[in-house]
Amino acid sequence: MLDSLNTALLDIWNGIAWGKWIGSLFLLVLGIVLASLAARSVSRVMAQRSSRHHVAMFRRLVFYVIVLLFGVAALREAGFSLEVVLGAAGILTVAVGFASQTSASNMISGLFLLVEKPFEIGDFIEVDTRVGEVVGIDMLSVKLRTPDNLYVRIPNETLIKSPVVNRSRFPIRRLDLSVGIAYAEDVEKVERLLLELAGKNPVCLEEPRPFVLVTGFGPSSVDLQFSFWVPRDKVLEGRSRMMVAIKQALDAEGIEIPFPHTSIYAGSHSEPFQVRLLGPDIPNAEKDLPDVEKRD
């Protein structure tokens, strides 16, 4: 029994065309190596002439096409009929197409994104509630890195159907800050003060010129819109530095920035609570207060 099993295994071993399989494996490995070299060469050639988006897409295209050609050659070397392989691949493609209509839609949407090119790798975009830097553009999805360093994958179909805001498309951005001042303050004086701050701030651009608008009369303040332009890579710095400068300048000029006040009532038929500030130099002050004022 054991001898017959060994004989059968030996016949199977001897019946395998090892030369063809080794040749097929060599072709497949050679194809992967050549595809990697060709993809890198394409990237270097196109780096100075095309966007990073197109470079990445053509690099993948060259790699997969070369690997596919060498894979077919490896199958033929192993003894497979090319007609049978192509027929099986066609049937498999149809079956996969029916089973993955969403993926097909994403691939078609990816082609539209490639042609339209609404953004490129490295741009900062906003899609629905997601904001981040584009780190990858593939046939099925776009990858984002959010400001808090999260990895987000968005299907291409979603990008085609949803509004996309490209915050890096143009070299400069306008910042609009809301400033509220008390009704007793001089509006024209505040306008001059804000424009002087824009002229002193090194981040603000001289052209286009900054401006101040009166946008409305709020419940407790006159509302102003202070707008100025900054380079697109200085948005956060420009907003923060300008808000600090506005607060310091208004305080130095004695200009009031109003804020809401809250009154506390126990009920519709009661008087407002009396609040007294007690210092450590008032002995036994708490004993002289009514019971309502002693409660926390």
User: What pLDDT score does 295 carry?
Assistant: 44
186-200, 213-227, 266-280: least confidently modelled range = 266-280
Q: What is the CATH number of domain 17-99?
A: 1.10.287.1260
44-53, 88-97, 143-152: least confidently modelled range = 88-97
- Check residues 72 and 282 and name the one with the higher pLDDT: 72
Question: Would you place residue 197 in the very low, low, confident or very high pLDDT band (cuts 50, 70, 90)?
Answer: very high
User: What pLDDT score does 283 carry?
Assistant: 54
Neighbours of 266 (CB within 10 A): 10
For residue 87, CA distances in Å to 17, 24, 90, 203 come to 24, 20, 5, 64
Q: What is the CATH number of domain 174-252?
A: 3.30.70.100
- Check residues 8 and 167 and name the one with the higher pLDDT: 167
Q: Taking Cα atoms as reference points, which of 147, 127, 145, 128 lies closest to residue 136?
A: 145
Q: Average pLDDT of the chain?
A: 79
User: What pLDDT score does 244 carry?
Assistant: 93
Q: What is the CATH number of domain 118-166?
A: 2.30.30.60
Q: Taking Cα atoms as reference points, which of 55, 52, 60 lies closest to residue 36?
A: 60
Question: Would you place residue 132 in the very low, low, confident or very high pLDDT band (cuts 50, 70, 90)?
Answer: very high
Distance CA 142, CA 164 (A): 12
Domain range summary for the chain, segments of one domain joined by +: 17-99, 118-166, 174-252
Distance between the two ends of the chain, CA-based, in angstroms? Answer: 95
Top-ranked range on mean pLDDT: pick from 47-51, 171-175, 275-279: 171-175
Q: Taking Cα atoms as reference points, which of 224, 132, 127 lies closest to residue 176?
A: 224
